[in-house]
A and B are shown apart, each in its own frame.
Chain A
Amino acid sequence: MSQTTQLLFKNRVPGNTAFIKEFSANGGYQGLKTAMQTMTPLEIRDLVKASALRGRGGAGFPTGVKWGFFPADKPGIKYLVCNCDEMEPGTYKDGVLLQADPHQLIEGMILSAFALQTQVGYIFIRYAYEKQAENLRRAIAEATQAGYLGKNILGSGFDFELHVHGSAGRYILGEETALLNGLEGIRPNPRLKPPFPAVRGLFGQPTTVNNVETLANIPHIVTGGAQWFKDLALTTDGSGTKLFGLSGHLNRTECFELPVGISLREVVETYGQGMWKNKQFKACLPGGASTPYLTREHMDVALDFASLEKVGSRFGTAGVTAFDEDTCMVAVTLNLIRFFARESCGWCTPCRDGLTMVRWILEMFESGKGTIEHLEMLKDQLKNISGKSFCALAEGAMGPVAGLLTHFEQEIVDHIERGRCPFSK
């Protein structure tokens, strides 16, 4: 447990799941009751906008702005979809949250649905999160029983029904438009944008897709206020707390709720309790497998969207994966690229075949057959894949490659010059 104010993890007891009794006892559904009785949907949307909450699913798009695109006042069926297809290597915070406290998400979704005036919600959950899906189903039943879901919620006249839907188990389903296709039961290729989901989403109707953690924050913003929420962050342009999922060569690899803007050093040394086996920190993925590496020179960078962009990386999902000094970064990158190339949906050429080519180049380095020409090819691939694919998958896949070329080009050259991986014994 960290020293930070605990919002999302306030009911978390490792090994236990808080259901409606524990959740309600600790202030659960208070935000919903207050809001439904005293606030208009527009007021909630304005509040979320003022809170500067940014999406917690990886892209970090301001939630209030996204909601601003949503035709909340348009009559007709509209959907709220929760993206819980958490499948990026190094990211597991949503799984932990739903294991600990499923009602957090449900309260957040009801509030968001009220704010956006959507009548139907879906929680699209990763196939492997069986336990979490079970928790959610039970929590939905409890919330329905208590009158928080269904018809005329808390006498407000507002109706909202919520369903849990399992994902087909590929990474691409986390892309919001591919997710919508998957939810509709058709092949989950990403959709062409525009039209954006806010205009034509699930079953052709206006739809907002938000991440689990994003939605779980809404009740806290409603109860605590926008300024309070903003002030939880350590950076001036940041906002709120964040679930940090630690992994890799650390002594402690757990998920913590920490303030946005905490330094990498504090995360690694205090919460990760330093590198394992008394080794040195070499690099890390700051926000999941698709974010460019940070190195020792970045230990004091504040972990937040703006500050990480400034050093050429991304805050992503705040899944911090640390690597010790004996790690071959070419091998790490190859491992990640293998994942992304495997998870490409196969729709567009740069992703389907470009990542195959990148994987082959990295394999050449790692097996000692790489040449300087291959290095030039890799740079050229980076230039031509990033930003030029149909959706963000290939761009994300090239994040670690960008980091490798920025910070560890010498390591590639070492592979070429020695004709083998310098880290292999």
Chain B
Amino acid sequence: MTTLSADAVRSASKKLTMPTLTIDNQTISVPEGKTILEAAEALGIMVPHFCYHKELGAVGACRMCAVTVHTGPMPGLKMACLIAVEEGMVVTTGDDASATFRERVGEWLMLNHPHDCPVCDEGGECQLQEMTISSGHGIRRYQGGKGTYTNQDLGPFIAQEMNRCIQCYRCARTYKDYCGGRDFGVMGSRNRVFFGRFKEGMLESDFSGNLVDLCPTGVFTDRTFRFKSRAWDLEQADSVCPHCGVGCATVPGGRLRELQRVQSGDNSLVNATFICDRGRFGSGYANHPERPRQARQGDQPISVGAALTTLETQIRAAIKHHGPEAVLLVGSDRASLETNWLLQRTAKHFGCRVPVLNAHHHRHQTAQMAAFDFSDQLASLQDIRTSDLVLVCGVDPLAEAPLLALALRQAVRKGGRVVVYDPRPVELPCDYDQVAIAPLALQELLADSGAEGRHLRDLIGQAKAPIIVAGADLLGPVGFQKVRKWAEKSSNAERPCLMYPVLAGANSFGTALLSLPEQDDLLTRLDSGKVKMLICVETDPLLEAPDGERFAAALTRLEQLVVLDYLPTSLSTHANLFVPTCPPVEDSGTFINNEGRLRRFQQVIKPGQSLAVGEHPSREFSLDTPGSDPQPAALLLQRLIGRELPLAELHRQLVLEQPRLAALTKLKAGEAGSRVTPAVARPQFIDQLPEQPVQTLELVVSPARYGGDLFSRYAPKLEPRKRLPCFYLHPDELQKHGLKDGDNAVVETDFGSFRLSVCSQPGMAAGCVLVESSAAFPQLIPGAGFSYCVISPGGANE
């Protein structure tokens, strides 16, 4: 019998068995395939380890997790991370042989390690320190020379201090293997192994910050946070990243009212233990020097209490004089579920018409498709990581949902296949097939027509766990309806075809779920002329919704503009009444992410909170200190309607109204989070594609990877990653229009005329002009539906 067939026999008999083994006289049953290390962990026995990481797996390099197997197929000193549990196995972790060996490993690892702990930024959260102590190594016997390295400048995000390296290889496994980065790796050999770039320079991966979390010692530290605080002085709490709809678990850390760093949290169903650089280094909005922290009436500072009283009086007066349509409340997909729901309650309280929860109507409609019509077949990122076929339709993951790109990579690493249908030159950190296809053609493809459509159907038919990832901005409600049909047709009882919608905001799903059918479109309501008072809560329709011109015009017809926000948006400067609110790190609340999962974030820091950490001499801040005014929007709204409730009671009442959110009452920060219950599918609408005007190109507005979302526009740390804007065109298209790479061009669009240089991009679809939305062009908002443009040469370079 060959080894292979022996393996086959073994795997055939491997059906859901739970071997029972004994570790340090405690017995446990764990699923087959688990290792001794994992079984010990489940028993609460911590076997020291370095190279093992639950997401990166075991590689057996550090040799720290040695234990003694007494009964088992191969008795003796073994590495706990490598040996799969077997029935009847008897293991000890504290016996002489394994304890001595681990002590030696501790000693070896420390041969070259400098004693710079007092000045090391890893101090307080150093796994090397913990593991060295737990290995038992204490007294240094080696008196030889220590190896030293020349550090590299890896850019503005990551600081390298190679002398501290203990060669666990986690960095390379994180950066290269897990995240797919190509400009960092292992160099050299023996005790001169070096982890870095071939040449100095900014790390290229959009996930470079994970080096900080994964390095067990102080080799890779957060350069933007270095020397600011000791870890034990930080206020930290489980939070959720607000940058996109993925809803990654994060652990922000702040001190002295400043948000100082963001680390990855742990959510095995969503982001595992990784986050993107945008989320990690893009938190500057919370500390932005221009962040409005003072309530204002006109130009005059007033107290928050006075502002609320004024607001109440004005609302009542407006309704009294002009009727329930006179006051329009606007919510947002970056505001919490609680805030948005309280807006609805506020409207009810004052007797005005239901609020608009998302100023971007088109995005809102698409998010509703996800929240209602997708809701019984939603995939999680974990489903994507284990899928064998993922069709990515109209999504540029690195720009719109970076952790999705990582999930796709894991699917490919496990042998799965990824096919991307998108007009953009989509880059992914893995192997994938790309069909560059213009937006209208993509809609036709999704309508199941043509050879490519048949090919797609065959692909899904053959897959074991197919998933369709659908981009809200590019596909819109029309495309989402088609995706829904595809998924429905391709599913059967044994094997569903799941969907993963990529929505724009952290709470797009939540606002869509809450919104009432009668809320209507913001601009339609404003143009009715009945609105006298507009109250925008954590939203700036000028920046966050298309057709800013129309909105600006509507503003001039208003009697009152009230803004509650924490970002220094232009709208807040126009407001007649302004009340400062708090970003998610200063508030507790809930978002619902792309996969319909309730994600609770907990308050990390408070503006103006008195600070007394542990035994440290108290550093008291009076609540009167400048800048201590901001309060969570949800709290302000409750004060406005004169009914402040504890969060638990608020959630109870919310669930009564929205039974789909039943899991809300038990939700805790730091947990994976349950999903909303599925909705009854809504009737389908007729989807007619518009005709493209002759002589035009399709305009594709895509968020820039950095600076596309509003938060990262107010994040100075991200500046080095921001790109200069330009028009991207397929080289054939350039040639057709008599343009060369780098030429200036004028593009006439529905949103105005723009002059920029053009950039040849062979990876994108022909027939399109691609432009990235960023602070440079705030008028260009993604997800505004089909749009066309005309391009012409724009004269010589200045």
Minimum CB–CB distance for B427 against chain A, Å: 23
Q: A192-B59, A360-B144 are in contact. Are A350 and B105 (CB under 8 A)?
A: yes
A406 interfacial by beta-carbon distance below 8 Å:
no
Which listed residue (A72, A187, A341) contacts B190, Cβ 8 A? A341
Minimum CB–CB distance for B383 against chain A, Å: 26
Decide: A349 and B4 in contact? CB cutoff 8 A. Answer: no
Decide: A346 and B60 in contact? CB cutoff 8 A. Answer: no
Decide: A345 and B190 in contact? CB cutoff 8 A. Answer: yes
Minimum CB–CB distance for B147 against chain A, Å: 9
Decide: B101 and A70 in contact? CB cutoff 8 A. Answer: no
CA of A68 to CA of B66, assembled, Å: 32
Instruction: List CB contacts (< 8 Å) of B176-196 with chain A.
Output: 185-186, 188-193
Q: A192-B82, A357-B108, A384-B104 are in contact. Are A344 and B190 (CB under 8 A)?
A: yes
Decide: A390 and B190 in contact? CB cutoff 8 A. Answer: no
Q: A192-B82, A198-B3, A353-B112 are in contact. Are A348 and B190 (CB under 8 A)?
A: no
Minimum CB–CB distance for A194 against chain B, Å: 9
Residues of A within 8 A of B101 (CB): 384, 388
Decide: A192 and B60 in contact? CB cutoff 8 A. Answer: yes
Decide: A348 and B63 in contact? CB cutoff 8 A. Answer: yes
A377 interfacial by beta-carbon distance below 8 Å:
yes
Which listed residue (B5, B7, B77, B108) contacts A353, Cβ 8 A? B108
B61 interfacial by beta-carbon distance below 8 Å:
yes
CA of A377 to CA of B193, assembled, Å: 25
Q: A357-B108, A384-B100, A388-B101 are in contact. Are A352 and B190 (CB under 8 A)?
A: yes
B40 interfacial by beta-carbon distance below 8 Å:
no
Q: Which residue of A lies closest to B106 (CB)?
A: A349
Q: Which residue of B lies closest to A369 (CB)?
A: B143
Q: Which residue of B lies closest to A198 (CB)?
A: B3
Q: Which residue of B lies closest to A385 (CB)?
A: B104
Residues of B within 8 A of A74 (CB): 2, 4
CA of A71 to CA of B423, assembled, Å: 46
A46 interfacial by beta-carbon distance below 8 Å:
no
Decide: B111 and A346 in contact? CB cutoff 8 A. Answer: no
Instruction: List CB contacts (< 8 Å) of B124-141 with chain A.
Output: 141
Q: A192-B82, A390-B61 are in contact. Are A352 and B4 (CB under 8 A)?
A: no
Instruction: List CB contacts (< 8 Å) of B86-120 with chain A.
Output: 100-101, 104-105, 107-109, 111-112
Q: A350-B108, A357-B142, A388-B66 are in contact. Are A344 and B191 (CB under 8 A)?
A: yes
B62 interfacial by beta-carbon distance below 8 Å:
yes
Q: Which residue of B lies closest to A381 (CB)?
A: B104
Decide: B3 and A71 in contact? CB cutoff 8 A. Answer: yes
B167 interfacial by beta-carbon distance below 8 Å:
yes
Decide: B189 and A172 in contact? CB cutoff 8 A. Answer: yes
Decide: A377 and B141 in contact? CB cutoff 8 A. Answer: yes
Residues of B within 8 A of A69 (CB): 2-3
Residues of B within 8 A of A68 (CB): 2
Contact pattern, A 385-409, Cβ under 8 Å of B = 1, otherwise 0 = 0011110000000000000000000
Residues of A within 8 A of B143 (CB): 360
Minimum CB–CB distance for B616 against chain A, Å: 38
Residues of B within 8 A of A70 (CB): 2
Instruction: List CB contacts (< 8 Å) of A141-197 with chain B.
Output: 170, 172, 187, 192, 196
A343 interfacial by beta-carbon distance below 8 Å:
yes
Minimum CB–CB distance for A406 against chain B, Å: 21
Decide: A352 and B193 in contact? CB cutoff 8 A. Answer: yes
Q: A353-B111, A360-B144 are in contact. Are A346 and B105 (CB under 8 A)?
A: no
Residues of B within 8 A of A377 (CB): 141
Q: A377-B141, A384-B104 are in contact. Are A390 and B63 (CB under 8 A)?
A: yes
Decide: B60 and A348 in contact? CB cutoff 8 A. Answer: yes
B64 interfacial by beta-carbon distance below 8 Å:
yes
Decide: B191 and A356 in contact? CB cutoff 8 A. Answer: yes
CA of A380 to CA of B101, assembled, Å: 10
CA of A187 to CA of B188, assembled, Å: 10
Minimum CB–CB distance for A196 against chain B, Å: 7
Q: Which residue of B lies closest to A352 (CB)?
A: B191
Contact residues on B (Cβ < 8 Å of other chain), bracket: 35 or more
Q: Which residue of A lies closest to B78 (CB)?
A: A388
Decide: B186 and A187 in contact? CB cutoff 8 A. Answer: yes
Decide: B105 and A342 in contact? CB cutoff 8 A. Answer: no
Residues of A within 8 A of B186 (CB): 187
Residues of A within 8 A of B188 (CB): 346
Minimum CB–CB distance for A170 against chain B, Å: 6
Minimum CB–CB distance for B527 against chain A, Å: 62
Q: Which residue of A lies closest to B58 (CB)?
A: A192
Residues of B within 8 A of A72 (CB): 2
Q: Which residue of B lies closest to A340 (CB)?
A: B190
CA of A206 to CA of B100, assembled, Å: 38
Minimum CB–CB distance for B210 against chain A, Å: 21
Which listed residue (A170, A206, A346) contacts B191, Cβ 8 A? A346
Decide: B63 and A357 in contact? CB cutoff 8 A. Answer: no
A61 interfacial by beta-carbon distance below 8 Å:
no
Decide: B193 and A388 in contact? CB cutoff 8 A. Answer: no
CA of A373 to CA of B139, assembled, Å: 14
Contact pattern, B 143-176, Cβ under 8 Å of A = 1, otherwise 0 = 1100000000000000000000001010000000
CA of A192 to CA of B64, assembled, Å: 16
A199 interfacial by beta-carbon distance below 8 Å:
yes
Minimum CB–CB distance for B503 against chain A, Å: 38
Contact pattern, A 313-357, Cβ under 8 Å of B = 1, otherwise 0 = 000000000000000000000000000011111111110111011
Decide: A356 and B111 in contact? CB cutoff 8 A. Answer: yes
Decide: A349 and B191 in contact? CB cutoff 8 A. Answer: no
Decide: A349 and B105 in contact? CB cutoff 8 A. Answer: yes
Decide: B2 and A170 in contact? CB cutoff 8 A. Answer: no
Minimum CB–CB distance for A80 against chain B, Å: 16
Decide: B61 and A349 in contact? CB cutoff 8 A. Answer: yes
Decide: B63 and A389 in contact? CB cutoff 8 A. Answer: yes
Which listed residue (A73, A172, A354) contacts B104, Cβ 8 A? A354
CA of A170 to CA of B193, assembled, Å: 14
Residues of B within 8 A of A350 (CB): 63, 104-105, 108
Decide: B167 and A352 in contact? CB cutoff 8 A. Answer: yes
CA of A342 to CA of B192, assembled, Å: 9
Decide: B193 and A349 in contact? CB cutoff 8 A. Answer: no
Decide: B3 and A346 in contact? CB cutoff 8 A. Answer: no
CA of A390 to CA of B189, assembled, Å: 15
Minimum CB–CB distance for A157 against chain B, Å: 23
Minimum CB–CB distance for A92 against chain B, Å: 23
CA of A357 to CA of B185, assembled, Å: 26
Residues of A within 8 A of B66 (CB): 388
Decide: A390 and B60 in contact? CB cutoff 8 A. Answer: yes
Residues of B within 8 A of A360 (CB): 142-144
CA of A177 to CA of B149, assembled, Å: 29
Which listed residue (B2, B59, B108, B185) contacts A349, Cβ 8 A? B108
CA of A199 to CA of B5, assembled, Å: 10
Q: Which residue of B lies closest to A374 (CB)?
A: B141
Which listed residue (A196, A345, A349, A380) contacts B109, Cβ 8 A? A349
Minimum CB–CB distance for B136 against chain A, Å: 13
Minimum CB–CB distance for B622 against chain A, Å: 54
Contact pattern, A 350-374, Cβ under 8 Å of B = 1, otherwise 0 = 1011101100100100000000010
Instruction: List CB contacts (< 8 Å) of A270-285 with chain B.
Output: none
CA of A198 to CA of B66, assembled, Å: 27
Minimum CB–CB distance for A42 against chain B, Å: 12
Decide: A346 and B193 in contact? CB cutoff 8 A. Answer: yes
- Other A-B pairs, 7, CB within 8 Å; known A343-B190, A346-B193: A71-B3, A192-B82, A345-B190, A349-B109, A353-B109, A353-B112, A356-B191
Q: Could you list 22 A-B pairs, sorted by A, with CB under 8 Å?
A: A69-B2, A187-B185, A192-B60, A199-B4, A199-B7, A341-B190, A344-B189, A344-B190, A346-B188, A347-B61, A348-B62, A348-B63, A349-B62, A349-B109, A353-B108, A356-B191, A360-B143, A360-B144, A373-B141, A381-B104, A388-B63, A390-B63
State the B residues within 8 Å of A (CB).
2-5, 7, 59-64, 66, 77, 82, 100-101, 104-105, 107-109, 111-112, 141-144, 167, 169, 185-186, 188-193
Q: Across chains A and B, which 10 residue pairs bring their CB atoms closest together, nearest first?
A: A353-B108, A346-B193, A360-B144, A384-B104, A344-B190, A71-B2, A71-B4, A69-B3, A346-B189, A349-B63
